[in-house]
Amino acid sequence: MCGIVGYIGDKKAAPILLAGLKKLEYRGYDSAGIAVQEKKAVKIVKKEGKLDKLKSRTEEEVFYGRTGIGHTRWATHGRPSDINSHPHTDSFSEIVIVHNGIIENFRELKEELSAAGHQFKSETDTEVVAHLISTYYDDDLRTAVNKTVKRLEGSFALAVMSKQEKDKIIAVRKDSPLIIGLGENENFLASDIPAYLEHTDNFYILEDGEIADIRKNKVNIYKFNGDLIANKNKTKISWDAEMAEKQGYQHFMLKEIHEQSESLKRLLEDNLNGGQIDLTASGLAEDWLDNYDKIHIVACGTAYHSGALAKYLLEDKLRIPVEVEVASEYRYRNPIVDAGTLMIVVSQSGETADTLAALRLAKKKGASVLALTNSRDSSIARESDMVIYLKAGPEIAVASTKAYTNMVAAFYLLLVDGMRQRDNISDQITAEYTSDLIKLPEMIRKLSEQSKEQIQAIANNYEDKENIFFIGRNTDYTLALEGALKLKEISYIHAEAYPAGELKHGTLALIEEGVPVVALGSRADIFSKLFSNLKEVKARGAETLLITEENQKFETESVDHLIELPILNKDFAGLLAIIPLQLLAYYTALNCGEDIDQPRNLAKSVTVE
């Protein structure tokens, strides 16, 4: 979470910083602040709560400065409050800093600094960094920051200013993303590209272990060892500012649900040649399956769910062992990885720290790495051997929708390309799968439009529910996982997903009168098994919603609500089923009165002392 912005140039900094923070609201925050260099001091304004409070507070001040930094905070050290908000300073307000990430050894550093006479105002780890920089400062901010970061443990992104050096911002990246936007007589700093798309489409993407010295007319980037990085590659972003705006939709999530048809079309067009799947641009060999005896898929959250779905299909059709692991657990279990392993890492941002750490571990053990990512020139893209770019465009909403769809579709591309390489699968079957894949964008577009009002009406039944269960079998179970995550992520209703056949092993005891159960039945080959479980929950008084293909035969008395999907290849039908799940989450959250474009303030529950 958290967001960093910075500006240096010829314009007034404060309005640009506030606008940049507004574009990063989707990251979630509990407080916000800005610091602007004025003639004789650095003026700081920060407030707990929404950006509107900060904006109101800044309107009471007069800002002339042309250089500044800003931050939206999600509390980790210390409760949400004005004093714990960023920016932070040292004892004499000479050093000003904003920070994303966690300094793991802050307590030891704080004790050391306290013993030396430093006094702290806040409960944060960030303030400790400001004080440490001040101990090394001798009229050269970059050198002081460089000495400081060598003593820090953890993951962090920093933006630092000094009252004595009004012409620069120092930025640092270690395991937490930072980008630098490049303009004419002005430069920008941010955690994410959408913050400044309206100002520039040229960016430097900082890599781990880099320090940037940012002036209005130049940017120099150094390694932690002090070496200047010559000829740093610039990244030109193909997204435009309009793509990152709501374009008439009430919320970003709804906009992005309806963008899925176009974003999927971009991905397919990028990997089709003459009506045939062509993955050579990714770096995959034409006969890549022959090079590996197992596949490891590693990801987090929604990306993990896309990999869980892929496991069923890849093992079924390609007959290759596939393991799917949550990235945060992968490196702690000593996985069996060697040169015969293809690791597939999935990350929308390309900067997911746990996924990046797993990637590095696998590469050390000799594995080849294929990345599925939405972000060109991201850390994961750069460090992988092969990359399929998701082409989903900017995803601003709190809950991932179109990136998930394109992740699943990227696995479909791998599946069909792998089928081509298997002698036991005919060219005709491979061609049929390719044809079905090409049909998906238009089918998704129609389904999104046609099911919207029906799902809105179903969601009206859920706003006062405390628990909702999702069930499915085979790939439908992975869809149940994603549906439950989406619902609880933005509506804050407790939602759980279970393999349908596991209900009788304890979970059925939780099903009572009026509890909603969403059953995924997109796979015609096992529908009868799924429906027997649906009848079980209905017998206990559940309010049932069935999502299945049209014209499916079943006993209607067991189903309270029905959403029908267009008929498609059973292995691809799951991508249609996710559309009503996303819309259900959206409209349920809307009925619950949630601010869908921002996560609820969870700071009190995640505070670490």
* Contact in structure between 5 and 195 (CB atoms under 8 Å): yes
Q: Terminal CA-to-CA distance of the chain, rounded, Å? A: 18
Tell me which residue has tokens 């998704």: 444
Rounded CA gap, 397 and 73, in Å?
Answer: 18
Rounded CA gap, 282 and 295, in Å?
Answer: 17
Collect all residues with Cβ–Cβ distance below 8 Å to 365 and sequence separation of at least 6: 335, 337, 338, 341
Rounded CA gap, 356 and 358, in Å?
Answer: 5
SS3 of residue 390 by DSSP: coil
Relative to beta strand 202-205, strand 187-190 is unpaired
Choosing from 236, 246, 439, 604, the catalytic residue is: 604
2 as an active site residue: the answer is yes
604 as an active site residue: the answer is yes
Rounded CA gap, 551 and 482, in Å?
Answer: 25
- In our burial notation (b when 16+ CB lie closer than 10 A, e otherwise), range 210-238 reads bbbbbebeebebbeeeeeeeeebeebebe
Nearest to 279 by CA among 428, 412, 383, 442: 412
* Contact in structure between 160 and 95 (CB atoms under 8 Å): yes
Choosing from 2, 43, 50, 255, the catalytic residue is: 2
DSSP-assigned letters across all residues of 566-584:
----TTTHHHHHHHHHHHH
Active site residues: 2, 604
